[in-house]
Copies of this chain bind each other. A is one copy, B any other.
Amino acid sequence: MTLPLREKRRQETALLIQRATLELAKENGLDAVTTDAIAAASGVSTRTFFNYYANKEAAAIGHPPEFTKEQMEALRAGTGPLVADLKQFLDSHMEALSEREDIVRLVGSVLRSNDKARGILEGLLAAERLVLTEALCARLNNRQTAASLANNATSAIGAAIFLWQKDGEIALSAALDIVWEGVIDASRLLSFKQDGEAQS
């Protein structure tokens, strides 16, 4: 962890700008906030703001935690049954998100009212989903299956956040448990042997 000063400053400023953006968006939504206002609140020039983020929506999203090397490795190595490993993987990612609960909550409200922000996050998630698909592929040797698993997993994270926001009482990890149970139930229904149908 011996980052050069430059790098460190950059990360700090990026986070500072994100917080300023979200703070301003709380009032009347992100659309009502100008880039000039964000720059001013962050203590940088407007031009510099655009050196950090391509637009205000990207600033609101910031840099969400990615799947770490350790998490991916644990999943690929695979000690237990796949379901358990996957759940563990999601739990550990959820924990990373919990450390920025305030930001997660604010980002969530921006997403509800801003198409562009949604698209940006969706792009980031798609990349993560691809990474996860690759890792699962190594364990399964079937791309479509791996892709579907990755989809269920990443969607579960989003659904858990949604549930957590709506409820307001339960913890993020508890929300994930509830959502995951639904995923498993749905899987039972989908994999149920059909009455008179042929089954490969």
Residues in chain A within 8 A of chain B (CB atoms): 57, 80-84, 86, 114-120, 122-123, 140, 142-149, 151-152, 155, 159, 178-179, 181-192, 194-195, 197
Number of copies: 2
Whether A191 touches B195, Cβ cut-off 8 Å, given contacts A118-B119, A144-B179, is no
Whether A184 touches B191, Cβ cut-off 8 Å, given contacts A117-B119, A152-B151, is yes
Separation in Å of the A68 CB from the closest CB of chain B? 23
* Residue in contact with A148 in the complex, picked from B84, B147, B185, CB distance below 8 Å: B185
How far apart sit A86 and B83, CA to CA, in the bound complex (Å)? 24
Pairwise interchain contact A190-B149, C-beta atoms closer than 8 A: yes
17 contacts between A and B (CB under 8 A): A81-B194, A81-B195, A82-B190, A83-B190, A84-B194, A84-B197, A114-B119, A115-B116, A116-B119, A119-B122, A142-B182, A144-B182, A148-B183, A149-B189, A183-B190, A184-B190, A186-B187
